[in-house]
Chain A
Amino acid sequence: MDNNRASINMHPVLERSSKLERGSTVKRWISSQWMQQAFFIGPAILFYSIVIAIPFFFGIYYSMTSWDGVSGNAVWVGLNNFSTIFLKDPEFGQSFWFTTRFTLTAVILNNVIGFALAYLLSLPLKSRSAIRTIFFLPNVLGGLVLGFIWQFILVQGFPGIGKLTNLSFFNLPWLGTEATAYWALIIVSVWQGAGYLMVIYIAGLANVPKDLIEASVIDGAGKWQILKNIIIPLIMPTVTVCLFISISWTFKMFDLNYSLTSGGPYGSTESVAMNIYNEAFGNNRYGLGTAKALIFFVAVTFITLIQVKLTKSREVEM
């Protein structure tokens, strides 16, 4: 690797010498800067375009057709799909509103709990790594499995506990009403996501210089002051990362939604991703589904850009 880098640095000299030595245009072409870049980045670009870019442009095309996803011919309808979505599909707006509410609550809770866990588990505790593992564990399980497990817990387990303890919390009709289904989704997604964010926050906390904290202790700062005035400003880059991750996670949530509530009761917990899925595959309106996905793509990009810009501006350079 070192040799390689050195050789690239020496490039102009080498090129000249190779010209003198061999003079062959083919060889010069092979060793040219352009060829090297194409060689190293080319495969990545190739796979990126096959897996992401080309399907994306196909998607743009399909969003302007009335294709049903099965038949051989897709009829061009121009921007009709978009006008249908904005004018005649209140459910899409509702699912957008649900997703926004859900994202707000879940992102805040995820980050607060993730940070609190990280802060507590950065303290010198005996069973620290064991506890960290336990909190991280839910993240290892896939969202689908998790959703089905929690569905069982909420629908079968909670009433059982409710019968024994008579606590009203467990006797609620879990997943049966709008509110319980909403909070069930929040509980499970926080349970799943907080552990992951905790790991990132722990890494961020480990990078806070000890001497700064020591100096502040000598100056007489309390625990809360240290947290507020030293630790949090210094881990703002980590906060940026965590917010970015959790926003894009929860905004695009599908598997948990699918397995835990499948949008129910009566479509009140239908996320945008799920609405798109149902439109394309349930209603056989693939063109309309892709158009929705495109709108969703623009929205997600916009929101994450704003978020990154906002938190970046609060980061402190050391």
Chain B
Amino acid sequence: MKRSFIISCVLVLMCYLLAACGANSNSGANTGADAAGNGESNAQKEVTIKLFQQKVEIAEQLKVVKAEYEKTHPGVKIEIESVLSSQYGTKLKAKLAANEMPDIFNNGGYSDMDVWADHLEDLTDQPWVSDAVDSAKAPMMKDGKLYGFPLSLEGSGLVYNKEMFAKAGITELPKTLSELEEASTKLKAQGFTPFVNDYASVWDLGITIFDSFMAKVPDTDKFIADLNSGAATFAGNDVFKGLPKYLDIAMKYGNANPLTTDYNTSMTMFATGQGAMIPAGNWIQPLIDKINPNIQAGLMPMPVSDDADFNKNAVFTSPTIWVVNKNSPVKEQAKEFLNWLVTSDIGKQNVAKEFKLVPAFKSIKADPADVGSIGDDLTKFSEEGNSLPMQASKMPEGLYTEIAQSMQKYVAGKSTPDQMLAEFQASWNKLKK
């Protein structure tokens, strides 16, 4: 008797525990249903749009936009999460695995679009599509359909300090590697450190620098196809012969300990005048402005060769693309938010004035005072037709990390130029599909 009493006691306890576990999820569902019920009676639903994005530079500005949108759209909440580009890809996959996919997130286009194809909402019918710049839409087009929302145009190359260049008497921007070295000597004579090298960051080595070279290879698409088929090699390419030379110059005239200088440190160094040039793009404007509001920065193409022909075409543009999760229950609201951002006056104003990004929409005119001096330079290059498309997202996934490691090895003096290019080749062969 005693025993069955104890067993039944424990049974009851266990049932209670199990029920409690179940009840939690039940109550969660209930409140959800309640909220939805209430919402329906008010003809509005309380929804949350989760935005997960990789532009930490506009994290603060996005909060302003969020407040603005929530004010005019009662019942809609926006949840913003910003992470560094270098961590973005893995975090997004972690979210996918945890079944916590955001409603709006970043995508790099091309091969990255193919990877995420199962999750992308078709945006072809959106009102802003005709207004978007064609080159910004290109990475997200598939079978005549558009799967991405281009938030901005981005350009990268060498960002330089205009004041320092003026003081050193550099009137003409360096167009070849020899001219780059000459400019560096002049800067050094004035007591400036010519280069800020943040080689601890695989992003800047593997994307910003590597892509500057990749984009300047004539007929890049063919080169990439040839690399895949084995018909072309990095070592046999004229443009890539300039890469070790560029790194040599940057190291010779650069800061101490480049391999321990990370992105944040390098931003501080550049903004506080501890260096005149940094491989970066117009996305750094809000960051350096925050550290030093008076900085006069400009953008120039990264010289890749001693042949000026190779350097004629300049800075490449890569749009920042947001995509909408096809499987999201609030995808309509998410699309509505994107639409608001680029068609309403207040949204437009935020994109042009607050983000300090070069807008990817024809109807949004960027004021040089707003997009900053780097963005202004980028607009000029773009208008002159001197811009090349980005290549990073056409390359095998994960390539940039390995490329960057090979470059780190080279600048640390652990490999020769030939070995570095051979390592590029090995990484490519390993990672290609």
Which of A's residues lie within 8 Å of B, judged by CB? 3-4, 7-8, 10, 14, 18, 27, 30-31, 36, 39, 43, 68-72, 88-89, 154-155, 159, 173-177, 263-267, 277-278, 281-285
Contact = CB atoms under 8 A, between A and B. Distances in A.
A7 B3 contact: yes
Nearest to B6: A4
B368 interface: no
Given A7-B2, A31-B4, A281 B405 contact: no
Interface in B252-283: 257, 259-260, 262, 265
6 contacts: A8-B3, A68-B115, A265-B200, A265-B412, A267-B405, A282-B397
A37 B4 CA distance: 15
A30 B398 contact: no
Interface of B: 2-4, 6-7, 10-11, 14, 89-90, 93-94, 96-97, 115-119, 200, 202, 257, 259-260, 262, 265, 396-398, 401-402, 405-406, 408-409, 412, 414, 430-431
Given A263-B405, A267-B405, A283-B431, 15 more contacts: A3-B2, A10-B3, A31-B3, A31-B4, A31-B7, A155-B262, A159-B257, A175-B260, A265-B412, A278-B401, A281-B89, A282-B89, A282-B398, A282-B401, A284-B115
A284 B397 contact: yes
Q: Per DSSP, are chain B's interface residues mostly helix, strand or loop, or mixed? A: helix
A71 B117 CA distance: 8
B414 A266 contact: yes
Contact of A39 (B10, B200, B260): B10
A61 to B, nearest CB: 16
B117 to A, nearest CB: 8
Contact of B90 (A154, A263, A282): A282
B398 A173 contact: no
A253 B89 CA distance: 22
A69 B414 CA distance: 34
A71 B408 contact: no
A283 B6 CA distance: 55
Contacts of A36: 7
B398 A72 contact: no
A266 B430 contact: no
A89 B402 CA distance: 13
A264 B115 contact: no
Q: Across chains A and B, which 4 residue pairs bring their CB atoms closest together, nearest first?
A: A283-B398, A7-B3, A266-B408, A266-B409
A36 B412 CA distance: 65
A176 B260 contact: yes
A240 B94 CA distance: 36
A43 B21 CA distance: 13
Contacts of B6: 3-4, 7
Among A8, A266, A283: residue with most chain B CB under 10 A: A266
B93 A70 contact: yes
B2 A70 contact: no
Contacts of B431: 283
A88 B432 CA distance: 13
A173 B3 contact: no
Contact of B260 (A155, A277, A278): A155
Contacts of A70: 93, 96, 115-116, 118-119
